[in-house]
């Protein structure tokens, strides 16, 4: 009989399970519901509440469960008390992240090669701040988060994202112009417990003029950050909104892009 081993972050809570092989037929049995008591060897590292383990502080501790397993069939008429043990590893990682839009990116830096764009760069601060998390990785997941008032011909990947960020690293804002990568702002110097996330949309055509849109439209995106624990923990869940506005530069029709939270 065995209990799931798990890795989790401080304050993260995950369900554990208890399994055993039936010696008669070799099948794996889920005995989780038969366990009546759950605990860990070191409650200062992780605690148990029912079948759920919560990380308290970095370290490793056994997790245990006990209960009475019903046994039926020929010559098996009793119930057998059983105890199971697994391991819990609580990893030392940041547990939250907060964004602040700090560096607007102007279309004038890429005009006339691009006629739509571009956005902003967010400074993302991870916590708790009493420890340096520099060098650790953070991943993201992004999707359309609600409002979308833009024409159907707009790009479908506006709210996509799968970047891996390094905490404490500097960042150079840049966009693609065809096959070339072009800097669109000054180098941002890395700061302890922070990383940079660029929100931008670009196109070689004026999106609102090319797709029959009105004077402006908006698309709201949903984004989550995750730490690098064995079982990644969500650090933050927020939305940001792209606003597209018709304008002109030197008499040429363009679509300006701004970002707000």
Band (78; pLDDT cuts 50, 70, 90): very low
Number of H-type helices and E-type strands within the chain: 1, 21
212 and 256 in a single domain? The answer is yes
Residues 137 and 251 reside in one and the same domain: yes
Domain boundary among 61, 91, 121: 91
Q: Which domain holds residue 48?
A: 2-91
pLDDT tens digits, 1-60: 455 566 777 878 888 877 776 655 556 777 787 788 888 888 888 888 888 888 888 778
Are residues 125 and 210 part of one domain? Answer: yes
Report the C-alpha gap between 71 and 60 in whole angstroms.
33
Q: Do 121 and 258 form a contact (C-beta atoms < 8 A)?
A: no
CA–CA distances in Å: residue 43 to residues 87, 145, 206: 13, 39, 59
Closest CA relative to residue 52, chosen from 15, 7, 6: 15
Does 71 share its domain with 101?
A: no
β-pair type (46-49, 35-40)? unpaired
What number is the average pLDDT over the span 144-171?
Answer: 92
Indicate if 209 and 129 belong to the same structural domain.
Answer: yes
One domain for residues 164 and 254: yes
Q: Could you tell me the pTM of the whole model?
A: 0.72
Q: How many CA atoms lie within 13 A of 258 on its CB side?
A: 8
Same-domain status, 106 and 218: yes
What pLDDT, in 10s, does the model give residues 96-153? 999 999 999 999 999 999 999 999 999 999 999 899 999 999 999 999 878 899 998 8
Point out the domain boundary residue: 91, 114, 135: 91
| The total number of structural domains that make up the chain | 2
The verdict on 57 and 25 lying in the same domain is yes
Instruction: Give the per-residue SS3 of 75-138.
Output: CCCCEEEEEEEEEEEEECCCCEEEEEEEEEECHHHCCCCCCEECEEEEEEEEECCCCCCCCCEE
Average pLDDT over residues 73-99: 70
């Amino acid at each position: 009989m065995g209990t799931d081993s798990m890795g989790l972050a401080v304050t993260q809570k995950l369900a554990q399970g208890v399994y055993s092989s039936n010696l008669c037929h070799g099948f794996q049995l889920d005995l989780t519901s038969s366990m009546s008591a759950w605990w860990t060897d070191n409650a200062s590292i992780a605690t148990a509440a029912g079948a759920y383990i919560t990380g308290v502080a970095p370290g490793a501790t056994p997790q245990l469960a006990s209960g009475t397993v019903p046994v039926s069939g020929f010559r098996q008429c009793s119930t057998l008390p059983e105890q199971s043990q697994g391991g819990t590893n609580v990893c030392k990682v940041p547990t939250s992240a907060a964004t602040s839009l700090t560096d607007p990116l102007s279309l004038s830096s890429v005009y006339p090669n691009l006629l739509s764009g571009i956005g902003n760069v967010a400074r993302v601060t991870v916590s708790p701040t009493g420890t340096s998390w520099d060098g650790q990785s953070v991943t993201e997941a992004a999707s359309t988060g609600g409002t979308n008032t833009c024409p159907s011909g707009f790009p479908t990947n506006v709210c996509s994202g799968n970047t891996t960020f390094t905490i404490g690293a500097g960042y150079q804002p840049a966009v693609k112009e065809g096959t070339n990568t072009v800097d669109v702002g000054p180098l941002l110097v890395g700061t302890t417990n922070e990383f940079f996330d660029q929100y931008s949309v670009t196109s070689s055509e004026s999106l609102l003029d090319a797709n029959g849109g009105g004077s402006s439209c908006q698309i709201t995106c949903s984004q989550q950050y995750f730490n690098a624990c064995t079982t990644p923990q969500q650090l933050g869940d927020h939305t940001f909104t792209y606003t597209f506005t018709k304008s002109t530069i030197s008499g040429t029709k363009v679509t300006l892009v701004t970002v707000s939270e």
